[in-house]
Structure 1
């Protein structure tokens, strides 16, 4: 792994902020690295407020969206809330539909089938709306490129409101309103909302129309925080406020569906990482293994006993997902080795019976071993469908765009995308994608990087620092958990490997020059092979995050190791 020390801000900036906040220089450095340079910036960062949320009517077309919904309610029209089958889509549908149902009964929901309909707005969904007398569809987390589908709906006298956060194409769909902060002609102050976040802005605008306050909408923020965590959007600006208050709801008064999911894992307090690894995979498992409708049923259920039943079913889907994930990952590794493709610039694998619901997870697993842009294909009807994942700094969406002559359709983000192609184009695409990656990927992108926020001594790790770091939460993109580096570290003789295959490492370390400090416990998941570095009594360097470990009611400081290397290594 590459260790990269983040650039140090100017000494004047550091001194000014450190004095203003009465903190150590390296804490001021952490804040400046996150764009926080003044006392006021720090106040907003450490004390998120609902008052920091922007006026939803600053979003282009919001007035049109609200007017059309109010007109539909006034005229007793049937409204359908449509969304994608992933966490962002199902939470968004649950959010908007449950809000509208609290004011108006004629609300239906629709999640497309991952296998029969695929991603985004579907003709089948529009036909369902037509058959059921629905005249308005609110699309969430999809629709920005569904020009043909929305034209098809319009011919059937069905209006669309699009609430999306993906990059628009050259043309916008002919909808009544297109809410997307990434529209070039939209001047909304924050353009990193997830799909559920755009849905929240819609209900915020509807709420303002009804003289509701922002506090009235706080109970919906458990859904928004879950979507923000799952969709890996930046935890900055509005997202930070929404995630902060959403986590408070999750940990105090979550909706019965989320309460039932958390109840199964018996964890008292959840942070954003827990939402990513506990709540999100279970919600996702419904759409991956069965149908996204099961997630919406869970998240909109108000009876806790019924929610527990739904959660139990979803727990089984998640267990099935894990089994499929392991099996397909193993088969993908075998294919790479058999085809002698270990040294390529990209990974592109295909097997027609791989489960479409887990190929995105498998792509991420492959990147853990072969660190390069990765596509995993399976058969979907008479075509091949794939999930793409990328490595830091490489825009896989742009790479797909460069090879689009071989694709039927594609969409997504810089680091994750989906696509379909005809079977006869698979090999052509595979070679074109490899060529594109080889020509455009930078050498440093081919090695995993650990970004170090600051080099500190163990004597700097004080109760005050830990209190301050807790206030940096919630963590996420553009506000990642601070990673520190410490040199001249020695093992105290208690180093040992853990796990069935001795893949993890447990240490108790000290830094001789930090006089007066006791040793600190450290654990490194996946670092078992580094045992030899620490056992020979030579000094070494650690890259780590600072955490607290609770055991039998006692709380102690623990280092969560990212990597270990020989002291002084470049």
Structure 2
């Protein structure tokens, strides 16, 4: 059951602005239209877009509490205090910990780091983590990608004589923790100009501020931008404004001279043979780092090389030599293989349950619970279910006596508000518009399910339940020239806020070579032609789209919407269409 997708062509940009940009920049009018559609409608904005500059990064001291944070770190260094860097167990948190740890290691010999166990401690700052800091003599904890709501935990640490600096990017609660400094651009009282930094991005602003305080050149921290780029891509933050600058230069670093740990992942994935882009981080690098924090692994604190979930990922990204990095990357790869097997099996179980429960198919959301599912993969499973049923989804399981789970949404529907409407039933929850985590007592599952379903029923618009593909431009194959592709490549890095352009071409057909590919024949490979003119067929790949295979194999015409990407094979670079949807021509 895959919902039919609605194709919607975006309105063209202002014709006069498109014409002016096309003439001034010397680019195809279709690409000038893409710029105007994205709000880039002047020559200066286009320059900033195509040629981002590091000196256009904002002054880190515009962020509230930044001076307090820098002075506290300087105090810790000058008084030889022990410091612990603490972060969440996802990619953003792990890269943030690695970034700050790698930087501060230059000034501190006995720096600690800590990643909480997803199963034993859950999300955010834990008393166990604070106890670990106290037992090891730490006087300062720098928390990254978490902590903005940890008022009681910060107070607990203070009673143990431990200060906190919090670097977060999530929405604050009703009160701000009483830490030495709370860096979060989403604080209402913070006037920092860019609100959409990743957690690692906030950590980067902290070390940028420290460098300015010490009058160190920016080149001191530029080598750490590869970690920031990985966090931006993996945490799905908008790749606009300051994030675009950080991602642009982070990708340059990732391709030219990456961190030893990232280099090991790149080698493992076979990515060293072509230019690494955001998609490579999202689909190959990020999942391997994430997998470490998802798997339930026994931790041996006495063995620094032992398997230890998210902490192994930090060890990888802080490795100082290739041999050590390769040791940890093998562990990470094992975690990822195990994770893929587990989430595939759980997804199949969830599909079977939904298909065998007819009343679930009639609802406008999915709430599904199985106490035996692994907590670390339920978010992935929720996303997989949305791909099929396209409606807000909550997947719940049991962990340490509590029901815990992840929720995911569809475009346009505020999932966080839906979860918040059930706050009185929950022990804990957090997240944002399209993703959330929650915990409740087992006896409250049915009431939560009823109230969540009622909220969605009352608040979701019918068109939100129909998957929609927004098409930027109709395009002919003859338009995809080398010059067109060069300019299109300059639009990268792609991501939220600057998505890869989607084009539409009607009435094309395969040249007779269409075939199913993939381990289970789940993908469709084609060589497409348009019209009767003889020209080189356009290579195309449609992932997970085999419904039209027989029609295409018979020579039937199709309409397609797609991204234009580059295919790298044996040193050759050729254009390829990454198909998003196919409709048979009737």
- Measured against the shorter chain, the TM-score band is over 0.9
- Which residue is equivalent to 1:525? 543
User: CA–CA distance in 2 between the matches of 1:536 and 1:301?
Assistant: 54
- Which residue is equivalent to 1:244? 248
1:405-461 deviations in whole A, cap 9, x for unaligned? 211110012111111001000110011111111111111111221111111112211
- Which residue is equivalent to 1:261? 265
Does 2:309 align with 1:305? no
User: CA–CA distance in 2 between the matches of 1:451 and 1:532?
Assistant: 27
- Which residue is equivalent to 2:127? 123
Does 2:130 align with 1:135? no
Q: Specify the SS of the correspondent of 2:548.
A: helix
User: CA–CA distance in 2 between the matches of 1:324 and 1:516?
Assistant: 48
Does 2:22 align with 1:18? yes
Change (3 A) 1:132 1:519: closer
Greater shift after overlay, 194-203 or 25-34? 25-34
User: CA–CA distance in 2 between the matches of 1:496 and 1:308?
Assistant: 37
- Which residue is equivalent to 1:504? 523
Deviation at 1:533, TM superposition (A): 4.3
TM-score by length of 1: 0.96
- Which residue is equivalent to 1:542? 560
Residue pair 1:84, 1:119 contacting (<8 A) in 2 also: yes
Change (3 A) 1:103 1:517: same
Deviation at 1:365, TM superposition (A): 1.3
1:316-357 deviations in whole A, cap 9, x for unaligned? 111111111112112212222333312221111111121111
- Which residue is equivalent to 1:281? 287
1:489-527 deviations in whole A, cap 9, x for unaligned? 2333333333455432222222228x5744322221122
Does 2:364 align with 1:360? no
Residue pair 2:14, 2:36 contacting (<8 A) in 1 also: no
User: CA–CA distance in 1 between the matches of 2:51 and 2:84?
Assistant: 38
- Which residue is equivalent to 2:227? 223
- Which residue is equivalent to 1:469? 488
User: CA–CA distance in 2 between the matches of 1:496 and 1:299?
Assistant: 40
Structure 1: state its 5+ residue gaps. Answer: none
Does 2:428 align with 1:409? yes
1:354-409 deviations in whole A, cap 9, x for unaligned? 11111111111111111111111111112101011111222211110111121111
Structure 2: state its 5+ residue gaps. Answer: 298-308
Residue pair 2:227, 2:250 contacting (<8 A) in 1 also: yes
User: CA–CA distance in 1 between the matches of 2:554 and 2:94?
Assistant: 53
Change (3 A) 1:25 1:564: same
User: CA–CA distance in 1 between the matches of 2:249 and 2:189?
Assistant: 30
Does 2:55 align with 1:36? no
TM-score by length of 2: 0.94
Does 2:576 align with 1:558? yes
- Which residue is equivalent to 2:333? 315
Does 2:345 align with 1:327? yes
Change (3 A) 1:258 1:134: same
Residue pair 2:77, 2:107 contacting (<8 A) in 1 also: no
User: CA–CA distance in 1 between the matches of 2:465 and 2:535?
Assistant: 39
Residue pair 2:548, 2:584 contacting (<8 A) in 1 also: no
User: CA–CA distance in 2 between the matches of 1:252 and 1:537?
Assistant: 45
Structure 2 counterpart of 1:384, from 375, 387, 403: 403
Does 2:189 align with 1:185? yes
User: CA–CA distance in 1 between the matches of 2:17 and 2:496?
Assistant: 23
